[in-house]
Amino acid sequence: MSAPTILDVAARAGVSKSSVSRVLLDSPSVSDATRQAVHQAIADLDFRPNLAARTLVSRRSGAIGVLVTDFHNPFFQDVLDGIDEITGLGKYTPIVVSGKRMQKSEEGALHRLLELQVDGIICVTATPQQHALQAAARITPMVILTRTPELPYVDSVVNDDFYGARLVVQHLLELGHQHIAMIADDQELAGTDRIKGYQQTMKENGFEQNIQITPGGFTETGGYTGVKRLLQTNANLTAIFAANDLSALGVLNAAVELGLDVPNDLSVVGYDNIFASTLKHINLTTIDQRAKIIGETATKVLLERIENPRRAAQRIVTTPVLITRSTTRRPR
């Protein structure tokens, strides 16, 4: 009645449980005859090894844990495609748990992954406390995405936001724009790499005095109010760099209301390349962080760390790309 065990397989194949175990683990020191007999018995009995028992003694589960803040985040979804890409070839399976957007349950989820004895953790999230991460990293290899915690033996993979912003500004400058304003996060009007990239590139091209940053949040409403505020004070403005796509969509809304034609009266660029931006009647010029590549890179780094847990922490920077669509054009 209950599930067959390695002993049942051994009995049926006429060998010892040790031999069955060796076949299961692909050990080289087993004769073809036994190997075949064991495979046959496994098939006959529909045997599947008990992972709990296996994990208990071998101290590895073959699973890598992925901790995400929120399944709705498209960035995470692409990251997971990348993780799948790499793990698909090998012996590890990604299992995903959600932090439900709350720090406490995020730490609970992290705890859960440790309990499951995952062989490594990829953390696609911002909020757990530093010490919770550190405690986890002492137990299991870990790599963190989108930020660099500066913890010993913890690798990180981050997007080059500075370069991404530079791509945006360069694109607009090449089209002939000079009056380029940025809508940034409410919290951060300076200091983030995305903002630094904008400022630096403007400065290098001699438009330091045209630098103009307004808060707008990472929301549709934020972009909407942000651009209205900008246009009130600066009639020369020909291009807007919104801190993310959602905000850029708000800018597009405002433009319609104000009777401005995008891209002829106003060029708009976003950041993230979310699904809505790809729709034909939005068709937003934006930056793609290539989250899939981030996921692939993170997985590779994690697998390396599983092999060699004591090597120095790595920080890998990935390169975003500009996606030129129809919301940017040279100014009139």
Interacting residue ranges for DNA, rule: CB under 7 A: 2-3, 5-7, 14-19, 21-22, 24-25, 28-31, 33-34, 47, 49-50, 53-54, 56-58
Tell me which stretch binds a copy of itself (CB under 8 A): 6-14, 42-50, 172-180, 301-309: 42-50
The reply to whether 43 sits near a copy of itself by the rule CB under 8 A is no
Q: Give the chain's length.
A: 332
Question: According to CB under 8 A, which one of 103, 210, 253, 314 is a site residue for a copy of itself?
Answer: 253
DSSP labels, 304-322: HHHH-TTSPP-EEEE--EE
The reply to whether 50 sits near a copy of itself by the rule CB under 8 A is yes
Q: How many CA atoms lie within 13 A of 44 on its CB side?
A: 13
Q: How far is the CB of 50 from a copy of itself (least distance, A)?
A: 7
Would you say 112 or 179 has its CB closer to a copy of itself? 112
Q: How far is the CB of 174 from DNA (least distance, A)?
A: 58
The reply to whether 235 sits near a copy of itself by the rule CB under 8 A is no
Tell me which stretch binds a copy of itself (CB under 8 A): 20-28, 166-174, 275-283, 298-306: 275-283
| Token pair for 54 | 């296996």
Number of residues that bind a copy of itself (CB under 8 A): 50
SS3 287: strand
Going from the C-alpha of 64 to that of each of 86, 98, 227, the distances in angstroms are: 12, 14, 43
| Amino acid (one-letter) located at 230 | L
Quote the CA–CA distance of 86 and 303 in Å, as a whole number.
Answer: 10
Quote the CA–CA distance of 160 and 272 in Å, as a whole number.
Answer: 12
Q: How far is the CB of 14 from a copy of itself (least distance, A)?
A: 26
Q: Which of the choices DNA, a copy of itself, none does residue 5 contact, using the CB cut-off of 5 to 8 A by kind?
A: DNA
Is 24:53 a contact under the CB 8 Å cutoff?
no
Binding site for a copy of itself (CB under 8 A): 3, 46, 48-53, 55-56, 61, 63, 71-72, 74, 76-77, 80-81, 84, 88, 93-98, 100, 105, 109, 111-112, 114-117, 135, 139, 220, 224, 249-250, 252-253, 256, 275-276, 279-281
